Chains A and B, each alone.
Chain A
Amino acid sequence: MKKLIALLLLGTTFWLSAEAQVSDFLQRSQVHGSFQVDGQFYRPDEALGITDSLINGRKIGLNGFGNIIYSLGKFSAGIRYEAYLTPIAGFDPLLDGSGFPNMWASYNDDRFSITVGSFYEQFGNGLVLRTYEEWSLGYDNSINGIRVTYEPVKGVIFKGVYGTQRFFWDKYEKNDRGIVRGLDGEFNFNDMFSSFENSKIRLILGGSMVSKYQIDANPIYNLPENVASFAGRAIIGFGKFNISTEYAYKINDPSAVNNYIYKEGQAFIASASYSTKGLGLFAQFKRIDNFSFKSDRDVTVNALDISYLPAITEAHTYALTSMYPYATQPNGEIGFQLQLNYKVPKKSRLGGKYGMGIAVNYAQVNDIDHQQVNDTTFVNQRGTLGYKSDFFKFSDHVFYSDLNIEIDKKFNRKWKGIFQYIYQTYDIATIEGHPGEPIVKSHIFVADITHKFTTKQSLRGELQGLWTKEDMGNWTAILLEYTVSPHWFVSLTDQWNYGNPIVEDQIHYFSASFGYTRKATRVQFTYGRQREGIVCVGGVCRQVPASSGLSFTITTNF
């Protein structure tokens, strides 16, 4: 009997102890995640040229993902599920499929971290390395491999990455694409030296090196199997001034994108800003010269990019202002951007009771200078050095220019508005690959007015106009959106291509949307037409074909 009691006591103690440990384990564990499902039901639409045979039985497109991250103290791990069954029109058909493209585990100490599996990383501005995921483009160039970071002292951080990049659903197999290796070091002088900590001068210096290894299986050209790129960067701040700059250099990297030329690549980006109360000034300069850097030299699609070449043009958000977005030209471009933000003070004659915001932005991007390397070699002739180029010389060929003026004004407690005027020139032949088509010169005007009925109910209206003699001619767009915050909204839109030179193409693109948000979950349905166009994020673009039907989006996170 005594033995039995002792055994019971021992068992209870063990059970309680185990339960406490499990309870402690669960309390310290955290799970976060997000889900999104985008779907589209297609229907024939004669006016848009969408017929049953074009749909070809493919009546539904669906893109979805689930992202789950688990963390326990210094350990974390994640898994990402994706399904493109079949991909929504405009997404790369190579995405067709479903599975778990990304899995990773990570250990983060105070000074040291290691990640294995799929990861995202950026060195500096990303000129020599940026891996990221952009759902709206169907783009993911994550690296599958190992990443290590080490912070020997405060303000100094070293990073190392090694692996292969994601290419849709193709698992890496020996020599089917390149291997990416990279090192980065960054020194934040204000953190490194206590005497600098409260200084008005802020200084960060950094340097990177990224190399790809890809076997040379090309029997015609003698290709470099190891292509290295180097970058140096500085961020300098003094009071209200800030300067940020990065220069990158890449050795010869003949590829399908640059027509297999052996010229070295260069990228340079510099920006300066000044801000004080009510006034902000920003200037930026960028030059790209033969700087497409992919981990497979034979790939031309939006995939396997190692380098990221940020856009320096304004990313517009309204339907007609974003009709002609600029896509970065990795083979060469030179441009600048100037921006002024001014807040007209409250109670001034112009500012009125609430003040008024004025933003003026001008951006221009030209082709770089190209000169023959010798008399017998054409510019960009494959299997040669390609061309020579003066670093700061702008060619006469303007890819894109954009002057935009925005006024943001609150009239009274119930009415506020945003007014925008834009003049754009857009070299559609280069940017969209429509040779022979003239440069699109467009004037665009937007009025965005919101009326608040109560603190929770508001009606927003947009009136937009785009006037051009080129491409599809004039457009107008109208939107009415009624919101009952924080849960409901309903909207009606119409985009009308009334100036299309082809009368049958003077189409109305009607659509109606309805959305419901509850906590972190949002559901939206849209029925109507979607016009053909281009979606760009950060200078990376994808084409969207015209479609008609019902679309929906469900998102949630926890």
Chain B
Amino acid sequence: MKIIKILSIIFALTFVVESCDIVEPPYQTGFDCESGNQNVLIEDYTGHTCVNCPGAAVTAHDIKQNCEDRVIIIAVHAGYFAEPKASGDYTYDFRTEAGNEWNNFFGIVSNPNGMVNRINEEGNYVLGPGLWAEESFKLLGQNSPVNIEIHNHFELEDPDMLVTEITADFIEDVEGDYKLIVCITEDHIIKAQKNNDLGLGTTPNILDYEHMHVLRTSVNGNWGQDFTSGFLTAGQSITKTYEQSFVGTDWVPDNCNVVAFIYNVEDKSVLQVQEEKVVE
């Protein structure tokens, strides 16, 4: 009986000691951004009256901060929380036709939510912000069969007309149907944002919130245009050129970026993504 008591105490003590992982600073670790060439597209579905969305934006920003150019963010304002109000601080309409369509198609029913490279896992594309880092980390270590380069310039004759040239270099064979989407995003837009996190700013409103990576338009349609079909051998490259006028918009060219991504038509997964500032 005494042995049982002693064993029980040993078991309980072992349980207590082994069940505690007290983490000491620094609390942040680093990403491995070197292995693999697969870039990551984080689509942050958000809205200016969504109180939890600033926190999600920080999550996306934290991931990008670790691997900079290899992580590309698009903040898609769509759905209920993105609706502009008739009056007050939230009259600005961030929504876009493409964003609204993606929001409906991928089934984003609440904010904040998002997708990472539009990966479909068991019929579900949507990931909560808490899972973006984990999914990004997995993808960053993988290899994509294609690299994308973007070159932007404004027409000399028409300084409001952006010309963007997208070149895809295939380093491995690719089979299947793929489309290319080219988008404009804008950083540093100062507008109001609802917030419930004191750590990120005032609550319940941050009137001078800095909106980053805001989707402005899809240059070549909501679902892009055909890029390659059938079998493509390694070593080939494809170049597409698009134009986008800035006339009639309030977009600031210095703050704008071109985001281009190639995706699989069948499952919508992103094959490769790249971003380049409009004014290089």
User: Does the CB pair A382–B128 fall under 8 Å?
Assistant: no
Answer whether A226 and B19 are a contact pair too, CB < 8 Å, given A218-B134, A219-B137, A378-B198: yes
Q: Which residues of B contact A380 (CB under 8 A)?
A: 197-199
Contact partner of B12 (CB less than 8 A), chosen from A183, A220, A379, is A183
- Tell me how far the C-beta of B206 lies from the nearest C-beta in chain A, rounded to whole angstroms: 11
A142 at interface by CB-CB < 8 Å: no
Interface of A is mostly: loop
The contact string, 1 if C-beta is below 8 Å from chain A, for chain B 190-206, is 00001111111001110
- Tell me how far the C-beta of A13 lies from the nearest C-beta in chain B, rounded to whole angstroms: 47
User: Does the CB pair A221–B28 fall under 8 Å?
Assistant: yes
User: Does the CB pair A227–B21 fall under 8 Å?
Assistant: yes
User: Does the CB pair B194–A435 fall under 8 Å?
Assistant: yes
- Tell me how far the C-beta of B91 lies from the nearest C-beta in chain A, rounded to whole angstroms: 15
Answer whether A221 and B27 are a contact pair too, CB < 8 Å, given A181-B15, A429-B204: yes
Q: Which residue on chain A has the smallest CB distance to residue B22?
A: A251
B234 at interface by CB-CB < 8 Å: no
User: Does the CB pair A262–B51 fall under 8 Å?
Assistant: no
Known: A211-B20, A378-B200; 13 extra A-B contacts, CB below 8 A, are: A93-B109, A181-B19, A219-B29, A220-B28, A220-B62, A227-B20, A298-B128, A300-B128, A379-B198, A379-B199, A380-B199, A435-B196, A435-B205
A86 to B122, CA, bound (A): 20
- Tell me how far the C-beta of B119 lies from the nearest C-beta in chain A, rounded to whole angstroms: 15
Contact partner of B199 (CB less than 8 A), chosen from A93, A259, A262, is A259
A528 at interface by CB-CB < 8 Å: no
A252 at interface by CB-CB < 8 Å: yes
Q: Which residues of B contact A378 (CB under 8 A)?
A: 198-200
Size bin of chain B's contact surface: 35 or more
Q: Which residues of B contact A251 (CB under 8 A)?
A: 20-22
Q: Which residues of A contact B137 (CB under 8 A)?
A: 217, 219
Q: Which residues of A contact B23 (CB under 8 A)?
A: 222-224, 252, 262
A433 at interface by CB-CB < 8 Å: yes
A57 at interface by CB-CB < 8 Å: no
Number of A-B contacts (CB under 8 A): 106
User: Does the CB pair A226–B197 fall under 8 Å?
Assistant: no
A300 to B56, CA, bound (A): 13
User: Does the CB pair B198–A384 fall under 8 Å?
Assistant: no
Answer whether A221 and B197 are a contact pair too, CB < 8 Å, given A256-B129, A256-B130, A298-B128: no
Q: Which residue on chain A has the smallest CB distance to residue B140?
A: A219
The contact string, 1 if C-beta is below 8 Å from chain A, for chain B 176-218, is 0000000000000000001111111001110000000000000
- Tell me how far the C-beta of A123 lies from the nearest C-beta in chain B, rounded to whole angstroms: 14
- Residues of A329-381 contacting chain B, CB below 8 A: 370, 378-381
Q: Which residues of A contact B130 (CB under 8 A)?
A: 256, 297-300
User: Does the CB pair B63–A220 fall under 8 Å?
Assistant: yes
19 residue pairs bridging A and B, Cβ less than 8 Å apart: A181-B15, A209-B16, A211-B20, A218-B134, A219-B134, A221-B27, A222-B26, A223-B23, A254-B27, A259-B197, A298-B130, A300-B130, A379-B198, A380-B198, A381-B199, A383-B27, A384-B27, A429-B204, A433-B196
A435 to B32, CA, bound (A): 39
Q: Which residues of A contact B62 (CB under 8 A)?
A: 220, 383
- Tell me how far the C-beta of A437 lies from the nearest C-beta in chain B, rounded to whole angstroms: 8
A298 to B56, CA, bound (A): 13
Q: Which residues of A contact B199 (CB under 8 A)?
A: 259, 378-382
- Tell me how far the C-beta of A475 lies from the nearest C-beta in chain B, rounded to whole angstroms: 25
Q: Which 5 A-B pairs give the minimum distances between C-beta atoms?
A: A435-B204, A211-B19, A298-B130, A219-B137, A224-B21
Q: Which residue on chain A has the smallest CB distance to residue B65?
A: A220
B10 at interface by CB-CB < 8 Å: no
User: Does the CB pair B21–A226 fall under 8 Å?
Assistant: yes
- Tell me how far the C-beta of A433 lies from the nearest C-beta in chain B, rounded to whole angstroms: 6
Q: Which residues of B contact A297 (CB under 8 A)?
A: 130
User: Does the CB pair B22–A436 fall under 8 Å?
Assistant: no
A471 at interface by CB-CB < 8 Å: no
- Residues of A258-316 contacting chain B, CB below 8 A: 259, 262, 297-300
Q: Which residue on chain B has the smallest CB distance to residue A222?
A: B29
User: Does the CB pair A436–B20 fall under 8 Å?
Assistant: no
Contact partner of A217 (CB less than 8 A), chosen from B20, B22, B134, is B134
B266 at interface by CB-CB < 8 Å: no
Q: Which residue on chain A has the smallest CB distance to residue B1?
A: A152
User: Does the CB pair A221–B129 fall under 8 Å?
Assistant: no
A225 to B31, CA, bound (A): 18
Q: Which residue on chain B has the smallest CB distance to residue A224?
A: B21
Q: Which residue on chain A has the smallest CB distance to residue B11?
A: A183
A231 at interface by CB-CB < 8 Å: no
Q: Which residue on chain B has the smallest CB distance to residue A227?
A: B21
B232 at interface by CB-CB < 8 Å: no
B7 at interface by CB-CB < 8 Å: no
B133 at interface by CB-CB < 8 Å: yes
- Residues of B26-48 contacting chain A, CB below 8 A: 26-29, 31-32
Q: Which residues of B contact A213 (CB under 8 A)?
A: 19
A222 to B203, CA, bound (A): 29
A228 at interface by CB-CB < 8 Å: yes
Q: Which residues of A contact B195 (CB under 8 A)?
A: 435
